[in-house]
Amino acid sequence: MLERVPLLEKELADYTEVVGEEILAEITRLAEPLRGSRVLHINATPYGGGVAELLATHVPLLRAVGMDAEWCVMHGSDEFFAITKQVHNALQGAEVEWNPAMQRTYLERNLENALALEDGWDFVIVHDPQPAAILSFVHDAALTHSPAHWIWRCHIDLTVANPSVWEFFRPFVEQHHASVWTMPEFVPPSLKMDHVVHAPPCIDPLSVKNLDLPMPFCQEITKQYGINPNRPIMCQVSRYDPWKDPVGVIEAYRMVHDEIPEAQLVLAGSMATDDPEGFRVWEETEEARGGDRDIHLLSNLHQVGNVQINAFQRMADVTVQKSLREGFGLTVSEALWKSRPVVGGRAGGIKLQIRDGEDGFLVDSIEECAQRTIELLADGERADAMGIHGREHVRQNFLSTRELRDWLSLFNDLAESTHTATRS
């Protein structure tokens, strides 16, 4: 049996003040035909990444509207996760070795997880490449699973995917009844599926990371980590991943520091269990930091959790997400929700969240990142106005109630297509 992730309860009514009664009424209407349906989400890690954050809210909300929803984490190994990290990089355009031994290890682990899968689900959603081949083994005649609607949710940017790696995964993806993508541009032209959905992920405004916090409390937290709340703060929150370019952020900060010597940089993130590359990137970032006391390198290994991240984002004068490739970048919406402007790399889902010049700036280089940050630090009034625009943009487009509506609509569409096929 796969490992189930324990979750706190959520109530849909708690979101009324944030999104309004009309949206909640629509969600209730969409959920009514699905009441009692069994839904399973499968991913690779219970914490440390954006998918885990999404599921920690989404699964309890499915339960709140009457569905029997669970979240399970697949069984893996150090070797498996090292391979799937290379797959992740390859699908985002990196050149990697992809040999039969790696393929065999990947498939053996997916078979193992298929054999551990409980029966009786109405909808099964597998997230990203790690569990993408489970369905192919469930289809094996030796496994007597009842019919279910299987959905593959891709959270990464496949616009320049390594062809050999994508072609290995494509047949497994195409066995699913539907696939969900953050942006239309991410869908490879070679994918042959009837049901392809475009729906960006969302943040939970009521999560610990996004709840309102009093500023004196935020100031006290920053002090505890050696950050001076009375000096300008530039902050990037992200995993320690080469695609997030933390070293590039340090280089941009040094240009900012030349113009604004009192500026500080906070790089805060988490180490995920399915990302063995994280510690290497941490070491590279630490080396780039070069002992600079105004560069604060923090992670969950320093007891930095959701409360601390919330405080850092609220205290930041400018938030940064200088990604080179990006699936979505939840931290952009998190910062905008806290009314802070964001300087973001012109990559993937960041382009959905930042309206250039209105909520922050989209940038294409280290130099441009530095220049835009300097502009915002020098004009606090403009920065605050951008943050206010950004918060409303997130309210309208990137809150978890919108994502819940998307999933309920997809479940209804798949259920209706099955009923239509049965009647015909």
Residue 419 has pLDDT above 70, yes or no: no
Give me the sheet containing 196-198, strands edge to edge: 3-4, 68-73, 38-43, 123-127, 149-154, 178-181, 196-198
Compute the distance between CA of residue 179 and CA of residue 166 in angstroms, rounded to an integer.
15
Range with the poorest average pLDDT among 263-267, 313-317, 416-420: 416-420
Please choose, from the candidates 266, 265, 271, the residue with its C-alpha nearest in 3D space to the C-alpha of residue 283.
Answer: 271
Return the C-alpha torsion angle 326, 198, 399, 317, nearest 10: 30
Q: Give the tens place of pLDDT for each residue, 90-134.
A: 999 999 999 999 999 999 999 999 999 998 999 999 999 999 999
Q: Give the tens place of pLDDT for each residue, 56-75.
A: 999 999 999 999 999 999 99
What pLDDT is attached to residue 302?
Answer: 81
Give me the sheet containing 342-345, strands edge to edge: 295-299, 264-269, 233-237, 318-321, 342-345, 360-363
Residue 423 has pLDDT above 60, yes or no: no
**Which of the four pLDDT bands, split at 50, 70 and 90, describes residue 141?**
very low
Residue 318 has pLDDT above 50, yes or no: yes
- Report residue 277 as tokens: 């590359």
Average pLDDT, the chain: 94
With respect to CATH, is domain 215-397 assigned 3.40.50.170?
no
Range with the poorest average pLDDT among 133-137, 143-147, 170-174, 330-334: 143-147
User: Do the domains spanning 3-202+400-423 and 215-397 agree at the CATH topology level?
Assistant: yes
- Report residue 424 as tokens: 């015909």
Domain map (residue ranges) of the chain: 3-202+400-423, 215-397
**What is the pTM assigned to this prediction?**
0.93
Q: Which helix (H) or strand (E) holds 381?
A: helix 380-397
Q: Give the tens place of pLDDT for each residue, 330-350.
A: 999 999 999 999 999 999 999
**Which of the four pLDDT bands, split at 50, 70 and 90, describes residue 37?**
very high
Average pLDDT in the 379-395 region?
A: 97
**Which of the four pLDDT bands, split at 50, 70 and 90, describes residue 143?**
low
Average pLDDT in the 403-422 region?
A: 87
Which residues, 6+ apart, have CB-to-CB distance to 283 below 8 Å?
none
Task: Give 419 or 210, the one with higher predicted confidence.
Answer: 210
Please choose, from the candidates 106, 17, 242, the residue with its C-alpha nearest in 3D space to the C-alpha of residue 114.
Answer: 106
What pLDDT is attached to residue 329?
Answer: 95
Q: Give the tens place of pLDDT for each residue, 193-212.
A: 999 999 999 999 999 999 99
Compute the distance between CA of residue 54 and CA of residue 32 in angstroms, rounded to an integer.
23
CATH code linked to domain 3-202+400-423: 3.40.50.2000
